[in-house]
Amino acid sequence: MKVEIPKGHPRAESLRIREKLIEAFEAGVVARAGLIAHGRGEAFDYLLGEKTVQPAFEAVKAAAALLLTAEKPVISVNGNTAALAAEYVVALAEAVNAEIEVNLFYRTAQREEAIRNVLEKAGAKRVLGVGEEASARIPELGSERRRVDPRGILVADVVLVPLEDGDRTEALAKMGKKVIAVDLNPLSRTAQKAAITIVDNVVRAMPLLARTAEELKHEKKENLKQILQNFDNARNLGECIRLIKERLEELSGKGRFLELPKGENRDH
């Protein structure tokens, strides 16, 4: 059932994103748990003010520098990322010369193929990790995410994992890979374990990352390395948490949330 979202609706953008995910769920791209994960992300996005915050801009710059200086960068794609940012995955892969690999927590052959189709429709020339191609295993990982492509994640030195589960971030880091995560929750295990965490919505972070990589593409290697040296993930995460705290303090101080006009609903 397609829902009409009124043009002037105060939360139209958020509702459009939800509809996109529901449609992708019905098309077999997004996992059922992907809808729950999105709700969790929405809550943190709300706390961050639903915009890219300054620390996220810095993390994006560092992520672009790391991808551009990598030997074998890979972008790992799950259902939610394919539904929300397929075209930017492709643009980023082109800008940094990365492989694109499907890697799912809830792995089924149908979902792998559906996600590959979405990526190919968005312009991807090669999509790894589908079916028998995911013949290698990440040690120490119980979930289906352990299955990886020997041409992709297995041999990658840098892996971008938008919307990840903490276990795999840890396992990839233990294998000596540098993990870049996009996660709205700065407290998640993924956020804490990644080398670079972009605390932002994939809907905003992926286009920004693709654009930033395009801009930095011709930058000298030593300048890119300098960007990386100046970046501190723990400090960046701390700043994100502080921004949430300050925002809550500001809002509670003004008492704005206690004074919604009659009949106005905060969520819809």
AA letter at 78 = N
In the bound state with ligand PTJ, the residue whose beta carbon lies nearer, of 191 and 224, is 191
Residue 158: what are its φ and ψ, rounded to 5°? -130, 130
Structure token pair of residue 211:
């654009």
Among positions 99, 170, 183, 239, the unique one binding ligand PTJ when judged by CB under 6 A: 183
* Number of shown-chain residues binding ligand PTJ (CB under 6 A): 25
Among positions 80, 169, 192, 212, the unique one binding ligand PTJ when judged by CB under 6 A: 80
Nearest alpha-carbon partner for 89 in 219, 19, 182, 197: 182
Nearest alpha-carbon partner for 90 in 78, 80, 99: 99
- Quick count: other Cβ atoms within 10 Å of Cβ 46? 16
Structure token pair of residue 107:
């792995």
Whether 101 contacts 153, CB under 8 Å: yes
Among positions 91, 119, 184, 195, the unique one binding ligand PTJ when judged by CB under 6 A: 184
Whether 217 contacts 68, CB under 8 Å: yes
Read off the DSSP letter of residue 155.
G
Among positions 69, 197, 201, 236, the unique one binding ligand PTJ when judged by CB under 6 A: 201
Site string for ligand PTJ, 213-252 (x = CB under 6 A): ----------------------------------------
Among positions 25, 44, 88, 231, the unique one binding ligand PTJ when judged by CB under 6 A: 44
34 near ligand PTJ, rule: CB under 6 A = yes
In the bound state with ligand PTJ, the residue whose beta carbon lies nearer, of 38 and 178, is 38
Among positions 47, 104, 118, 154, the unique one binding ligand PTJ when judged by CB under 6 A: 104
AA letter at 173 = A
185 near ligand PTJ, rule: CB under 6 A = yes
Q: How far is the CB of 78 from ligand PTJ (least distance, A)?
A: 3
Nearest alpha-carbon partner for 268 in 25, 84, 3, 56: 3
Q: How far is the CB of 153 from ligand PTJ (least distance, A)?
A: 13
In the bound state with ligand PTJ, the residue whose beta carbon lies nearer, of 203 and 243, is 203
Q: How far is the CB of 234 from ligand PTJ (least distance, A)?
A: 18
37 near ligand PTJ, rule: CB under 6 A = yes
Task: Report the first-to-last Cα separation within the chain, whole angstroms.
Answer: 18
Whether 82 contacts 29, CB under 8 Å: yes
Supply the Cα-derived Rg of the chain in whole angstroms.
19
Half-sphere exposure for 189 (CA within 13 Å, toward CB):
9
Site string for ligand PTJ, 115-154 (x = CB under 6 A): ----------------------------------------
Residues interacting with ligand PTJ, by CB under 6 A? 31, 33-34, 37-38, 40-41, 44, 78-80, 84, 104-106, 163, 165, 182-185, 188, 201-203
